[in-house]
Chains A and B, each alone.
Chain A
Amino acid sequence: MIDRTVATNPRSTAEVAALAYDSDLRPPPFVDELVQLWRYRDLVLLLTGNILKNRYKRSLLGILWMLLNPLLQTIVLAIAFGALFQSALPHYPIYLLSGLLAWNFVTQTTQYAMGVMAGGGGLLKRIYIPRATYIVAVVGNGLVNSLVSIVPLLLVMIVFQHPLGASWAFLPFSLLILTAFTLGLALLLSTASVFFTDSIDIYQIVVQAGFFLTPIMYPPSVLPGPLNDWLLLNPFYLLIELFRTPIYANAVPDAGLIASATALALATLLTGWTVFTRRVDQLAYRL
C-alpha cells in the first residue's frame, strides 16, 4: 500500500501563535469552559446523537418504545387515580401526561448525568475535552426525548378531544426554562457525584419523595394545609406548572409564575456553572 503524503498544517502562523498556552495566563474557568465548550460544539452534538442512538438502537421496538413508555405510565396511573380526581381534573390523563413529561425530563436527565460523571466521566481523565461536554450532551438528549414525547401527548389529546390552543406558542419558552434549570441542576449534582459517592443514592430518594410531594398526578388542592402553603417553594412545582398550564389549562401561565420560574432556572444554572467550573480542574484528579 502506498503512503499518502501527510498534509502540512494548513493553519497560518498567526493561528498557531494563538494556540500558545500558558497555564498561568488562563482565563477564569467560568469563562474558559464556555469558550472551550463552544470550540468543541461538534463533539457535544455528536455525543447527544450517540446517546440517543445507543439508547434505542438495540431494542427492537426502538423509537416506538420511547413513545410508548410515557403512554403506559399514564394509562396505569389513570386507571389507578382517574376516578378519584375526575371532578377536580377533567381529562385527567392530559393533566398527568403533561406533568410527567416535565418531571421525567428534569429527573431522568439529572440522574443520567450524575451516573455518567460518577462512572468515570467517560474520557475526562484520558484526553482533554471540555469538562462539561457530557453533561451538556445528556441534557440535550433529555430535551430531544421530551420533544419526542409530545407525540403521545398529542395522541391522548386527540382521543379526549382536548382543545389545542394558541397557548401552545408559549411551550418553547417553558422548555427553555426547563432546560436551563435541568442543566444547572445536572452540573451541581454531577459535581457532587464525583466528590461523594453516595450522592446518587441520596438523590434517588429525593426524587422518589419529590414525585409524591409534587402535584404531578394529583391536583394541588389535595395537599394538606401546611404543604399547600409552601407549594410555591417547590421548584419542581413551578417548572411543571410552567409547562402544564399552556397544555392542560389552555392558558399562558400568570406573570408571577413566569417570573419566579425564570428566576429559579437562571439562578440554578448560574450556581451550577459556578460550582462546576470552580471544581473543574479537580475532576480529572478525582474521577
Chain B
Amino acid sequence: MIQIDNVTVRFRIPHERIPTFQEYAIRWLKRRGVRYADFNALNDISFSVEQGETIGIIGPNGAGKSTLLKVIARVLRPTRGRLRLRGRVAPLLELGAGFDYEMTGRENVFLNGAVLGFSRKDIARRLDRIVDFSGIGDFIDAPVRTYSSGMVARLGFAVATDIRPEVLIIDEVLAVGDAEFQQKSAARIREFRGSGSTILVVSHSPASIKALCDRALWLEHGAIRAIGPADAVVDQYAPGKPVR
C-alpha cells in the first residue's frame, strides 16, 4: 500500500546567478534579497496504490513523473504533504546508479548492493545468483568502463531485483538492453507482480503500459490529469499513437 496525501515538491530556482557568499554580501549591502522563483514539480497530489497493484505513470517530459518516483524512493522529501508506504522499496530510477566505472563488475555488485542497503555478507551469499541472472559472464571481472550501457543495465537490474521487493519503482530504465534482457526483466517483473509486489512504472510506451498495468496515472505540469483503468487513461492520453 502506498498512500500519497497532498504532496507538493517545490524547487527553488534562483532568478539570477548561482548563489555565492560574495553575491549575498553585495545584495545584503544593497539591502536587496536574492530573488527566487518557486517551481512546483508536483502540486498537491493525492492518490493511493493498493498492495499488489501495478500502476503506470504517463505524461509529457517535465510533468513530474521522475520527481514522483523520487519522493516514493525517499530521495526527495516532499516539501508539503505526506507519504506512507509499507515494505522495502527497490528503486530502478537509474540502473547502475553508484557504479564505480573503474572497478570490476563483481566489486560493483557489492557497491551497488550496499547502496541499496544490503549488508556485505548478504550480497556475498547471493553473488553467484546475481551474476548468473545478469548474464555478464566472464566480463564480471572486467572494469565496468568496458561494459556497454546494456550490460550496465543488466547488472544494475540483477542487483536491485535479486530479492523480491514489496514496492518496485521503475523509471524508463527497461528500454535499454537487448531483446533477451527485455524479456528476462519483463518476466521477473511479472513474477513479482504475481507474488504481490506493488509496482509503479514510468514508460513512454502505451502498449507496454496497457500490457503491464492495472491502472494508469496521467501527470501533467505536476498535477494529476487522469487516473483510472490503464486502457482508458492511455487511450485518453495518446489516442491511437505512440507518444515520445
Contact = CB atoms under 8 A, between A and B. Distances in A.
Partners in one complex: yes
B88 A19 contact: yes
A20 B115 contact: no
Contacts of B83: 21-23
A126 B94 contact: yes
A42 B120 contact: yes
Nearest to A122: B98
Contacts of B18: 197
Interface in B77-124: 77-78, 81-88, 91, 93-94, 97-98, 100, 102-103, 110-111, 114-120
B117 A39 contact: yes
Interface residues of A, number: 44
Contacts of B82: 22-24
Interface in A212-238: none
Given A6-B164, A202-B21, A128 B100 contact: no
Contacts of B75: 124-128, 284
A10 B73 CA distance: 22
B133 A199 contact: no
B24 A50 contact: no
Contact of A7 (B84, B119, B164): B164
A3 B78 contact: no
A127 B11 contact: no
B76 A285 contact: yes
Interface in A28-48: 39-40, 42-43, 45-46
Interface in A181-215: 195-199, 202
Interface string B186-209: 011001100100000000000000
Interface string A1-18: 101101111110000110
B37 interface: no
Contacts of B187: 3
Contact of A285 (B12, B73, B115, B132): B12
Given A21-B83, A46-B114, A128 B21 contact: no
A23 B77 contact: yes
Interface residues of B, number: 57
A11 B164 CA distance: 10
A59 interface: no
Given A6-B161, A128-B91, A198 B22 contact: yes
A54 B100 contact: yes
Contacts of B88: 9, 11, 16, 19
A129 interface: yes
Given A6-B162, A19-B88, A126-B93, A196 B24 contact: yes
A7 B163 contact: yes
A4 B114 contact: no
- The residue in A8, A10, A43, A199 that gathers the most chain B C-beta atoms within 10 A of its C-beta is A43
Contacts, number: 127
Contact of A54 (B21, B97, B102): B102
A152 B91 CA distance: 46
A123 interface: yes
Contact of B19 (A3, A16, A127, A195): A195
A269 B184 CA distance: 49
A9 B164 contact: yes
Contacts of B110: 46
Contacts of B52: none
B74 interface: yes
B12 A16 contact: no
Interface string A47-60: 00010011001000
Given A9-B164, A21-B74, A21-B84, A126 B97 contact: yes
Interface string A259-270: 000000000000
Contact of A43 (B85, B86, B97, B115): B115
A6 B191 contact: yes
B84 A23 contact: yes
Interface in A57-72: 57
Interface string B44-84: 00000000000000000000000000100111111001111
24 contacts: A3-B188, A4-B132, A4-B133, A6-B161, A6-B164, A6-B188, A7-B162, A16-B88, A19-B87, A20-B84, A21-B83, A21-B84, A24-B82, A42-B120, A50-B100, A50-B111, A54-B102, A123-B115, A124-B75, A127-B73, A127-B97, A128-B73, A129-B115, A197-B20
5 A-B pairs closest in CB distance: A43-B114, A198-B20, A281-B77, A23-B83, A128-B74
Interface of A: 1, 3-4, 6-11, 16-17, 19-24, 39-40, 42-43, 45-46, 50, 53-54, 57, 122-129, 195-199, 202, 281, 284-285
